[in-house]
C-alpha cells in the first residue's frame, strides 16, 4: 500500500482501498502534522465514501476538513 506524498503537503489516495485508508490515514495525518506539513491536501477522487473516511479520520484526531479554494471536488483540505 502506498500513498503518494507530493511536496509534503499532499496525500494522494488513488489506488488505495477504503480499508487501507481506514487503517492508515490517521497515522499519516498525525505524521504530517508533526513534521509541520499542514494544512495538507488529501486527494480523494470523486468517491463520496473516501471523502467520508477522510473526514472521520481527521475529526477523530482533532483536525478539520474543508473544500480547498481551488475548484476540485476530488480534494479535501485537512487543517
Nearest-angstrom CA–CA distance, 30 and 25: 9
Task: Say whether pLDDT at 4 is over 60.
Answer: no
* pTM for this model (two decimals): 0.85
Give the chain's domains with CATH numbers.
4-78 (3.30.1370.110)
* Banded pLDDT at 2 (limits 50, 70, 90): low
Any residues with CB less than 8 A from the CB of 7 and at least 6 apart, and which? none
Q: Is 10 exposed, middle or buried (0-12, 13-18, 19+ CB in 10 A)?
A: middle
55-74 pLDDT, tens per residue?
999 999 999 999 876 777 78
Amino acid at each position: 500500500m502506498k500513498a503518494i506524498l507530493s511536496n509534503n503537503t499532499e496525500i494522494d489516495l488513488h489506488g488505495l482501498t477504503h480499508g487501507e485508508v481506514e487503517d492508515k490515514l490517521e497515522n499519516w495525518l498525525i505524521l504530517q502534522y508533526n513534521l509541520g506539513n499542514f494544512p495538507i491536501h488529501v486527494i480523494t477522487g470523486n468517491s463520496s465514501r473516501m471523502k467520508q473516511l477522510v473526514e472521520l479520520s481527521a475529526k477523530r484526531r482533532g483536525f478539520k476538513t474543508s473544500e480547498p479554494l481551488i475548484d476540485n471536488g476530488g480534494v479535501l483540505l485537512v487543517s
